[in-house]
Chains A and B, each alone.
Chain A
């Protein structure tokens, strides 16, 4: 069954709103998990999965010609699983089993349990290398499919990220696109205070990547960036997406406290009302 996709940004905005609600619901049910980075990544995931960027078949998760997506910032599963459920990889009911014993929806992505999960991640800095290996495999075979990888800004403090960034241009991987969810906040403090990464775009440029800087909550800009990445020849593309951690829920926005804490039932209701109110 083909996935219904759209390039209409008002439709995509509605889908993202729906997914934000789902994120809050499953976190309330699980009583643990990571809301901040899930809310910052969700507009990008919405465009990737429902904006006709990623080619995939939910009823055939191992379709050889599929595009691959690796969530290197593996803790942001609430956003990822909500997206995969909406894409049709598994029923919405599964979301309510998140983090519970026996659930395929582990706290961090497990490719052997959750359909649609390309790589098991959760130890920060590692997913980008796995994605790089996937992109190299496609290049060796001259295969048409593309590889996407989402990396966190806090995650980019890890040396392995830069080993991967250093090495990707060597292989002329124009089939490889990294998205940095630059949401400004990590587990305990703002990224700028823990370890300032600026100028992040310049760092990627210096490693010979094609770089696009966007507002990661602007659907037109997200779609255009993915199109630009696909059209870029001879080098990998890094999309530096400037986002807001906790985006859409005012009391969570840019707050380290909401990196890895689930909202209570009452907080969840407030969050959902705000999301549906569409004020943010």
Chain B
């Protein structure tokens, strides 16, 4: 399959799960960016347009969930995190089965620049006790995640989606297991622990390292909360060298989560965190990954720095 943005895969997947009449979709006037317009065309009676008023949008989602609906509220992730207190109180504290899709994450969105780039959403949402955080790395995983979160998951959930296209990492027949890390590649020298758009970068880095005689494993963390601590601790124990990789601030994101897991397990491992440390800016995705140190080259360099 051609490279697909996970936001687009999300839109396609919503149409599929929309055959269940309990599914409703809520928009804040970004439906052509989040691809919820696909659902709107198919199920107009269950598509709720609330305009640029995200506090209300998230509260309405909670009310719908409390009434037995399965609501998906979707907009740019940064606008969701901007309404953190509504997510905290109306959604999470109410134990409302709201599914929130946050698109346009990371510097990977490109030209639009810093104001639209969510680089702190994982950090903020990770502090909410019952919020599940899922970030798929390709189209196939997105379809599985949407299906799981729609029909099986109990409690609030957040799905983190890219604007840019991502290569398919998985094949048809891939089995997505919520809360379980996905071992994409075995390695004995170093483990690259990546999420979302950085998974394909980590795979490319592992390939480059292989040519240099460095055996790098790749762990895809599609579920950031609850974290598969056993898989991370296991990797730290077996390779002793870890690189975390994410298009998000290293503070509070996957890098922090990995550091916490390793430290609490008392494993003597070394860690380098690849991720952002500043606000984003305008540019192409490739230029920005280069500038912000997120490309495969940077992930490989981070691994090399541990090999001395």
Contacts and interface: CB of A to CB of B under 8 A. Distances in A.
A125 interface: yes
Nearest to B64: A133
Interface string B77-111: 00000000110111001110000000000000000
Contact of A119 (B51, B63, B86): B63
A111 B59 CA distance: 15
Given A126-B86, A134-B64, A137-B67, A164 B95 contact: no
A130 B55 contact: no
A125 B90 CA distance: 10
A226 B41 CA distance: 38
B93 A120 contact: yes
Contact of A133 (B53, B59, B95): B59
A140 B45 contact: yes
Nearest to A159: B55
Contacts of B46: 140
Majority SS at the chain B contact face: helix
A103 interface: no
A14 to B, nearest CB: 34
B260 to A, nearest CB: 28
Nearest to B52: A163
Contacts of B86: 123, 126, 129, 160
Nearest to A147: B63
A166 interface: yes
Given A126-B89, A129-B59, A164-B59, A137 B94 contact: no
Interface string A129-147: 1111111111010000000
Contacts of B48: 136, 171
Contact of B67 (A123, A129, A134): A134
A120 B45 contact: no
A251 to B, nearest CB: 33
B122 to A, nearest CB: 23
Nearest to B85: A123
B257 interface: no
Interface string B241-261: 000000000000000000000
A6 interface: no
B45 to A, nearest CB: 7
A129 B63 contact: yes
B63 A166 contact: no
B39 to A, nearest CB: 14
A153 interface: no
Contacts of A174: none
Nearest to A68: B67
A125 B45 CA distance: 27
Given A130-B62, A167-B51, 9 more contacts: A129-B56, A129-B58, A129-B63, A133-B60, A135-B63, A137-B24, A137-B68, A167-B50, A167-B53
Interface of B: 24, 45-46, 48, 50-51, 53, 55-56, 58-69, 71, 85-86, 88-90, 93-95
Closest 7 A/B residue pairs (Cβ): A133-B63, A129-B59, A137-B67, A163-B56, A133-B60, A163-B53, A160-B55
5 contacts: A110-B93, A119-B66, A132-B59, A133-B64, A136-B63
Interface of A: 110-112, 118-123, 125-126, 128-138, 140, 159-160, 163-164, 166-167, 171
